[in-house]
Homo-oligomer: A and B are copies of this chain.
Amino acid sequence: MQKGRLIVISGPSGTGKGTICRELLKGNDLDLSISMTTRAPRAGEENGVQYFFVSREEFLKTSEEGGLLEHAEIYGNFYGTPRAAVLEKLEKGRDVILEIEMDGAAQVKRSYPDAVLIFILPPSLEVLRKRLTGRGTETEEQIQARSSQALSEIHRIYDYDYSIVNDSLRDAVSDVRTIIRAEHLRVGAGSEALVRKYEEEE
């Protein structure tokens, strides 16, 4: 059995990463990585479903022991990706999807170099601004700032293995699946088992 691949989906905000991941998970052939957080559960949230809810002490202990693939502090709460939970799934041959902001993606690549980093791009900055306007949660100024930030973030494309322009959701999801399949065909550590199969025949 081939080991699963860790697929990291990242990119500027407003590019539709979350929607792509939700679509991908409908196939039931991929697992979502569940983050660990110190923030309190909201109504309806369950431990181990949306997040692993832990105390500050537990979070810091896990982090110090190298138990997180990446972590960040956001508005005073800690968030992180538990290494053990992800690795267990990969060992079982499941591919794992991790949707994460860009600093987190770079951290994951450092702590787990076999991770496959996919950068999701907007069709254009114009479309990105329209999407953000459509959300109705930000002022015109904030949207301009986000668009400028997106442009500077787009220059970080070289930290990634693949990039997908999210022009159409269907095509973007299909492209992620194409990348996952191709990564399984890649020659690497997993090829040893393949070679052994022929050796045993002789």
Contacts and interface: CB of A to CB of B under 8 A. Distances in A.
B162 A198 contact: no
Interface stretch (A46-54, A61-69, A85-93, A118-126): A118-126
B175 A194 contact: no
Interface residues of A, number: 35
A154 interface: yes
Contacts of A57: none
A164 interface: yes
Interface string A161-190: 111110000000001001101110111000
What does DSSP make chain A's interface, helix, strand, loop or mixed? helix
A162 B124 CA distance: 33
B187 A119 contact: yes
User: How many identical chains are in the complex?
Assistant: 2
A160 interface: yes
Given A157-B187, A162-B187, A191-B157, A202 B121 contact: no
Contacts of A162: 182, 185-187
Contact of A182 (B148, B160, B178): B178
A195 interface: yes
A98 to B, nearest CB: 18
A29 interface: no
Interface of A: 119, 121, 124-126, 148, 150-151, 154-155, 157-158, 160-165, 175, 178-179, 181-183, 185-187, 191, 194-195, 197-199, 201-202
